[in-house]
Structure formats: structure tokens, C-alpha cells
Amino acid sequence: MNVVVAENAVGGDKEALVLNGNVMPQVRYPNISTSVSGIANEDWEAFTGRARQDNIKYQDAMTLAVKDLAVAARRGDRIEWRAAKNAPTRPLRMHDDTRILINELIEEFSYKQNVIVGTAMHMWANRPSV
């Protein structure tokens, strides 16, 4: 990933400094912050409630939810994909490996991030208790 840092205004030649994003230091890496919109309040509440019930951090619960969805979808299970709702954007922290897995699922199944994350959250929160 290349990142344009600043354009050179001197001379108006539109030159820019380009840095390779793969070597740029990140203080919190491998945990990243992103945001997702379109996930219904009831799905957020069910997800966080289940994580509290199971005594699991939200970030770890998100990792488990996305991994479970990936396994089920790739196995060919019938998935009830959650349509995006008119809902506010919410911050989300996850491990970079989880973000990479979400991006793979986006490519494989042609759904947007909010559908992938919303479906994963819904399935994980409503899975049978062990």
C-alpha cells in the first residue's frame, strides 16, 4: 500500500512524497481500528451481550465471529446474509488478521464489509450455547 504524504506546491509540478505503507510503523499494530455502519442496534446489543455472557473481550469475540462465518461460508453452509440497515457508524477494533479475513470474504462472496461483519456478529451472538 503506497501512501501520498504531501504534494510539493513549489513550482506547481504536483510532485508528491510516496511512502510504502507496509513499512510505516504503527504503534497499535497488529490491532487496528476501523468503523462499520449499517449494523442494526439489536445485532450490536446481542453481540456485546453474548460476549459479556461468555466473558470474552469484544475484539476476541469479533475474531471468533468472523472466523466462524468464514468456515461456514467456505464449507457451503446456508448463510442468511444480513442486509445493511440505516444505522450509525460505530468504531471497531480488531486484529489485522481479522481485517484480512474480512477482505477475503468480501472478495469471495461479493458483499460489503458491513454485511460481512453484521452477518458474523448475528451468527455468533445467536449460536447455540455449549
Question: What is the Cα–Cα distance from 61 to 76, expressed in whole angstroms?
Answer: 23
> 26: how many CB neighbours lie within 10 A of its CB?
10
Question: What is the Cα–Cα distance from 61 to 123, expressed in whole angstroms?
Answer: 12
Give the residue from 57, 46, 113, 50 showing the smallest Cα distance to 81: 113
* Per-residue pLDDT at 100: 96
Taking every pair of Cα atoms in the chain, the longest distance, rounded to a whole number of angstroms, is 67
Which pairs with CB-CB distance under 8 Å and at least 24 residues apart come from 82-86?
A: 82/39, 82/40, 82/43, 82/115, 82/118, 82/119, 82/122, 83/115, 84/37, 84/38, 84/39, 84/112, 84/114, 84/115, 84/118, 85/38, 85/39, 85/40, 86/38
* Per-residue pLDDT at 22: 57
* Per-residue pLDDT at 129: 79
Give the start-to-end residue ranges of the domains of the chain. Answer: 26-125
* Per-residue pLDDT at 28: 73
* Per-residue pLDDT at 12: 45
* Per-residue pLDDT at 8: 45
Per-residue pLDDT of the chain (130 residues; tens, 9 = 90+): 545 445 544 444 455 555 555 555 556 788 999 999 999 999 999 999 999 999 999 999 999 999 999 999 999 999 999 999 999 999 999 999 999 999 999 999 999 999 999 999 999 999 987 6
